[in-house]
Amino acid sequence: MLLFCLLCAAPVTAITVKHIDITVAENGDAYITGDYSMNWMEQMVVYPAGLSIVTVSPPKHATIHSVSPSSVQVTVNKLAKVRHTNTSTTYITPAFSGADATNELNKFWFANMVNLDLAPGTLTLRFPDGTTVEDTDLTGVPSFTHTVAAPQT
């Protein structure tokens, strides 16, 4: 009972995103690694709750490879739109905002215990041709469009 009272009295804190690394495959699938930090309350309550949710009912369009209190590794099917022409292939990644993340978090019972803090984080986005994009303001991740010219024969 004392632990419950302490958890209820504890202030809402933030899971702080440090780095998101996304590698886009030629088919538009994306391998994502996210590094973040949690305080003791999040590690004791939010992490186990989130882990049980993804274990019992994993996302439909994703494969979770690993989850820990400090990182996650996941493959998301068809994250990027891929458009082929005779002369090029264009990859378009979706935009993502802090509000989008909060809306997803609000679907779970523990949402009132945590806020996501994306602002200090960085993003590394890699495309199939080796092009890398860096973004340091994760309050919102814009959509990225990258075109790769078809090889000349």
Q: What is the 3-state secondary structure (H, E, C) of 76-138?
A: ECCCCEEEECCCEEEEECCCEEHHHHHHHHCCCCCHHHEEEECCCCEEEEECCCCCEEEECCC
Average pLDDT score over residue span 71-85: 94
Q: Does 8 have pLDDT greater than 80? A: no
Beta bridge partners of 75: 31, 63
**Tell me, what's the pLDDT at 13?**
57
**Tell me, what's the pLDDT at 104?**
76
Q: What is the pTM of this model?
A: 0.83
Q: Based on the number of CB atoms within 10 Å of its own CB, is 153 exposed (0-12), middle (13-18) or buried (19 or more)?
A: exposed
Average pLDDT score over residue span 134-148: 85
Please tell me the least confidently modeled range out of 54-58, 96-100, 132-136.
Answer: 54-58
Q: Which two tokens stand for residue 44?
A: 């004791």
- Residue % of the chain over a pLDDT of 90: 36
